[in-house]
Amino acid sequence: MLTNYDADAVAEVMGIAFLEDPAGGPAPAAKPARSSKAVAGADTRKFVINLDHDLVRIVEIRTKGTFGRFEKSKSGTDRSLMDRKLTRRPPSSVLIEKAVEKGLPRLVLRHVAEQIAGTDEAKISSLEWVIVPKTTLERREEQLSPLESERTERAARLFVHARRALGSAAEARAFMTLPHPLLDGRTPIDAARTDLGTRRAEQILNALEYGLAL
């Protein structure tokens, strides 16, 4: 078990949830998100993972993505859950790992970028390209590769750590996007392109959080 891995917070930053899906069939149709090239009618089977012989669907819960969205009824119940009789599964490091191995939905990267960059479209796109190069990302209409998914998860995880260590989302955003001398002048989001770079950024946050010497 990973220590200090906040699966709930990481899933929230990535904008995803997990639903147990015995049928594993196509999700209800939804309108495409304005912020992505994803097209309606995407093959949602790409976002079904197998965990302990159970099928679990990765669903997007922040915008109207093509791989399913929870819509609240007047009673506050998730309409998609009622219609499909699916049950929500609490996020865990294992579920997120399986989702990364499968390849995360393209919109997850957009969600992470929005969490870190705010509402500025130019900054959001620029941050996306730090994680996945622009020319590569232009070919990802629906799904990221496992390597790109891993980079996306690392960025989300580091942002969650920064938010916890520094006390606010605003301070976490500043930490993630400003050059740091202990990262050779790179920003933590740039360092998060590699596992070793992420570990160096995490060491800085651990020092701030627990008063450790670097």
Block means of pLDDT (10 residues each) for the chain, 214 residues, are: 83 94 54 44 71 85 50 46 69 95 94 92 93 91 94 97 95 96 96 95 93 73
For residues 106 and 143, is the Cβ–Cβ distance under 8 A? yes
Closest CA to 136 of 193, 202, 52: 193
The pLDDT of residue 40 is 39
Overall domain count for the chain: 2
Examine the fold and report which residue of 86, 102, 118 is the final residue of a domain before the chain moves on: 102
Residues in the chain: 214
The pLDDT of residue 23 is 62
Q: 16: which residues sit within 8 A by CB, 6+ positions away?
A: 58, 59, 60, 61, 99, 104, 105, 108, 111
The structure's pTM equals 0.80
Closest CA to 137 of 159, 113, 172, 102: 113
Which residue range forms the structural domain that includes residue 22? 7-102
Residue 83 and residue 12 share a domain? yes
The pLDDT of residue 1 is 42
The pLDDT of residue 84 is 57
Residue 30 and residue 89 share a domain? yes
Residue 205 and residue 136 share a domain? yes
Backbone angles phi, psi at 88, to 5 degrees: -75, 135
Residue 76 and residue 161 share a domain? no
The pLDDT of residue 44 is 58
SS3 state of residue 187:
coil
On whether residue 2 sits in a domain, the answer given is no
Residue 90 and residue 28 share a domain? yes
Residue 200 and residue 121 share a domain? yes
